[in-house]
Amino acid sequence: MKKSGSDVRCVTLPAGMFYNCDCICGAARYIPDSSVDLIITDPPYGINGDTLHKHYNRNEDFVVDGYVDVPEKEYGNFSLLWIREAERILKPGGSIYIVSGYTNLYHILAALRMTNLTEVNHIVWKYSFGVFTRRKFVSSHYHILFYEKPSGTRTFNLESRFGLDEKNGDGCSLNNIDREDVWLINREYKPGVVKNKNELPLELLIKLIQYSSNKGDLICDLFLGGFSTAIAAIGLNRRATGFEISPAIFDTRIREIEAMEPGFLIPLLRKPSLQPRKNQRKAWTAEDIRYLVREFKKRRARGKTKKDIIAALGDELGRGRWSIIKALKKSANNGEQ
């Protein structure tokens, strides 16, 4: 472990550099402009984090001490400062996912609106490890704000987990279900294992990384905590970097990270079934479109459903469902139907 000139501890690994310091000053000093492909981060919640554990039903002996929270009255300014750094270090087209509870979500949204980052999705992450309550409903979700830095091409690996043609037993698209914006992913129950106070489940991080990055991309977590983002990134053959202000928390995981085999998660991933279509990405000829429109109308007149016709014509013409839908729409807009 090295100390940089300013006494910041920095660990350099083949997968990336990790800093034991405040992320706002640390990013300003160590991370160049437009150098990061993806940020996934879970800032302190500003709700007096040190008492959070009292609401959870778990053995606290295995939870690492040292979690640093931010006083509520400073939360707005704190959010703006780190989000401005996040915007600066992201590449144009880079994505950022911010995990937040409800209490201080408005500060994060206000800070985001003061940057040029633009909203892509608001994801609700539901988990069944809720805070215990007696006289009200049980809180069991977090917010994940998915934003992008404009002026670039955003990575979104549409078929990284499920092919577009894969269906469940009810005939629904598995790809579509996986891309809905409410996610049910349970927190990991790891009895007897040392953990950080709010560790994100690997399943959630793997999903974000699969959709929003490629092999070798640099992924940054400004609030590393238990290093779960870095673990998922290294496990999927991405590079990782990040900051954790607490020495105790930093020390707990850094040795594990050093020993980690890059790509160790890849054999565990589900392999999507991808059926390349023979005419995928080929331009439509006027004759193809005339045939498509004629067949579509003919089959509709025979009472077939739109969905079935599109699937059948897709197979016949060697094109995906969206390509068929787009071609039909375009020809309707051009008044050709």
Ligand X SMILES: C[S@@+](CC[C@H](N)C(=O)[O-])C[C@H]1O[C@@H](n2cnc3c(N)ncnc32)[C@H](O)[C@@H]1O
Q: Which residues of this protein are in contact with ligand X, per CB under 6 A?
A: 22-23, 42, 44, 67-68, 196, 198-200, 223, 225-226, 228, 243-246, 249
Strand pairing category for 90-100 and 36-41:
parallel
CA–CA separation, 90 vs 10, rounded Å?
21
Q: Which candidate, 66, 207, 2, 213, places its Cα nearest to that of 125?
A: 207
What's the token pair of residue 71?
A: 């006083």
Q: Classify residue 120 as left (phi > 0), alpha (psi -120 to 50) or beta.
A: alpha
Q: Which is nearer to ligand X, 67 or 147 (CB)?
A: 67
Q: Smallest gap, in angstroms, from Cβ of residue 24 to ligand X? A: 6
Alpha helices per DSSP H over 141-266: 174-178, 202-212, 228-235, 247-258
Quick one: DSSP state of residue 268? G
The helix (H) or strand (E) run that includes residue 291 is helix 286-301
Q: Smallest gap, in angstroms, from Cβ of residue 64 to ligand X? A: 8
Q: Smallest gap, in angstroms, from Cβ of residue 26 to ligand X? A: 7
Q: Which is nearer to ligand X, 44 or 94 (CB)?
A: 44
Q: Smallest gap, in angstroms, from Cβ of residue 17 to ligand X? A: 14
Q: Smallest gap, in angstroms, from Cβ of residue 245 to ligand X? A: 4
Length of the chain: 337
Q: What is 249-265 written as a DSSP string?
A: HHHHHHHHHHTPPTTTT
CA–CA separation, 203 vs 125, rounded Å?
12
Q: Which is nearer to ligand X, 238 or 319 (CB)?
A: 238
Q: Which residue is nearest to ligand X (CB)?
A: 225
CA–CA separation, 258 vs 256, rounded Å?
5
Q: Which candidate, 217, 227, 231, 109, places its Cα nearest to that of 160?
A: 217
Quick one: DSSP state of residue 35? -
Q: Smallest gap, in angstroms, from Cβ of residue 225 to ligand X? A: 3
Q: Which is nearer to ligand X, 50 or 316 (CB)?
A: 50
State how far Cα 10 lies from the chain centre: 26
Q: Which is nearer to ligand X, 220 or 245 (CB)?
A: 245
Q: Smallest gap, in angstroms, from Cβ of residue 20 to ligand X? A: 9
Q: Which is nearer to ligand X, 97 or 211 (CB)?
A: 97
Q: Which is nearer to ligand X, 83 or 200 (CB)?
A: 200
Q: Which is nearer to ligand X, 64 or 174 (CB)?
A: 64
Q: Smallest gap, in angstroms, from Cβ of residue 187 to ligand X? A: 10
Residue 10 sits at the vertex; the CA angle it makes with 8 and 15, to the nearest 5 degrees, is: 155
b/e per residue, 145-163, with b = 16+ CB within 10 A?
A: bbbbbeeeeebeeeebbbb
